[in-house]
Amino acid sequence: MGTCDTHFFLSLMHIFIPCLLCIMAKVEALNVTISGFYVFGDSTVDPGNNNYIKTPFKSNFPPYGLDFSNQVPTGRFTNGKLATDYIVSYTGLKKELLPPYLDPSLTNVEELMTGVSFASAGSGFDPLTPTITNVISIEKQLEYFRECKKRMEDAMGKQRIEDHVKKAAYFISAGTNDFVLNYFSLPVRRKSYTLQAYQNFLIQRITDFIQNLLAEGGRKIVVAGIPPMGCLPLMITMNSPDALFQRDCIEKYSSIARDYNLLLQQELRKMQLHLINSSASNAKIYYVDIYKPIADMIQSRDRFGFEDVDSGCCGSGLIEASILCNKISDVCVDPSKYVFWDSIHPTQKAYHNVFLASISTIDFIINN
């Protein structure tokens, strides 16, 4: 490069670099229009709260966390990140992983303000569901949020936290355990409720929870549907006529999930309409579909780079989850070739795909 060329190149860089920095700053500023990210639900969004309670339903041991640095198990029911970890990182809240609220090392108020998860693996909307594995109920999770608010108010002042809470986003993901661990497995609810009545019962519990969250000041509330339950490896094992060789999704249970998701969407739309003339008229309630992204990965495995879609990476992949998936379990060579990590929970790659499928909704929530 000649002297003139060098001078020209340096002049261009003097113009280009400040402009690039300006653009980057604008992109980040666009992304930080939510003040925090708070999560409620079950194992799909629990980053390790169950580590700190007395329950057999834990995952803070190998091979869980296999794809984290140093292969550290965090209490997430997968080999790495959850979808909510990808979401919080994407929002620009300067957080790579969403921490569990019950972690005793979580003493920094700034950590609380950018977001935490109150979720508990094994929980559900039905009050009976969390009692099955002695985990944290949805109601208790809301109590923890109130406690979290108080901690922030004590440090930052009530007015600031009121504004903060209104600008935060809230994510709710539960419901699968209510069917898989409860209604389909135990006789108690089936004696009292038809399937349709039980679905309506769960949806009423969800609307009650949302109303309580609105009363606490929440204004951006996201509710996830449930996955194709008949495609969970455990459900195939329990319901297939030949669990070893006939491992197609059990349509009966996946169709129940579709029906439930439709009912949920209808109810959320109704709630949104009723909010127009309420004190929370500026609140928005969003639905996030996780059924289709998971069904797509299973039905179009080659397109997503998966080889196994009907068993988990851990152990036999047919029944193992939680304590049955442990340090003496065989583990597949490459978890990224599997949709499921254990017999119930997706792999990190599958969670990342769910996140990618939801980006347009996430963008809309962040930027409105």
pLDDT tens for residues 111-153?
A: 999 999 999 999 999 999 999 999 999 999 999 999 999 999 9
Contact (CB, 8 A) for 132 and 178: no
For residue 162, is pLDDT > 60?
yes
Q: Which residues of 77-92 are buried (b: 16+ CB within 10 A; e: fewer)?
A: bbbbbbbbbbbbbbbb
Which pLDDT does position 368 carry in this prediction?
A: 77
Report d(CA 136, CA 100) in Å as an integer. 12
Which pLDDT does position 7 carry in this prediction?
A: 43
> pLDDT for 26-48, tens place per residue?
333 344 589 999 999 999 999 99
Tokens of 309: 């879609």
Question: How confident is the model over 188-197, as a mean pLDDT?
Answer: 97
- From residue 128, alpha-carbon distances to 48, 175, 259, 332, 334 in Å are 21, 12, 22, 35, 37
**Per-domain boundaries in the chain:** 37-367
Fold (CATH) for 37-367: Rossmann fold (3.40.50)
Report d(CA 361, CA 324) in Å as an integer. 36
The residue ranking higher by pLDDT, 332 or 23, is: 332
Reported pTM: 0.90
Q: Is 67 a catalytic residue?
A: no
List the catalytic residue out of 35, 43, 137, 336: 43
Q: Say what percent of the chain tops pLDDT 90.
A: 87
| Residue 280 banded pLDDT, cuts 50, 70, 90 | confident
For residue 25, is pLDDT > 90?
no
List the catalytic residue out of 85, 103, 178, 342: 342
Cis peptide before 63 (omega within 30 of 0): yes
Question: How confident is the model over 320-337, as a mean pLDDT?
Answer: 97
Q: Is 330 a catalytic residue?
A: no
Which pLDDT does position 27 carry in this prediction?
A: 35
List the catalytic residue out of 178, 343, 345, 352: 345
Considering only CA atoms, give the Rg of the chain. 22
Which pLDDT does position 28 carry in this prediction?
A: 39
For residue 18, is pLDDT > 70?
no
Which pLDDT does position 32 carry in this prediction?
A: 57
Q: Is 43 a catalytic residue?
A: yes
Which pLDDT does position 278 carry in this prediction?
A: 83
| Residue 4 banded pLDDT, cuts 50, 70, 90 | very low
| Residue 342 banded pLDDT, cuts 50, 70, 90 | very high
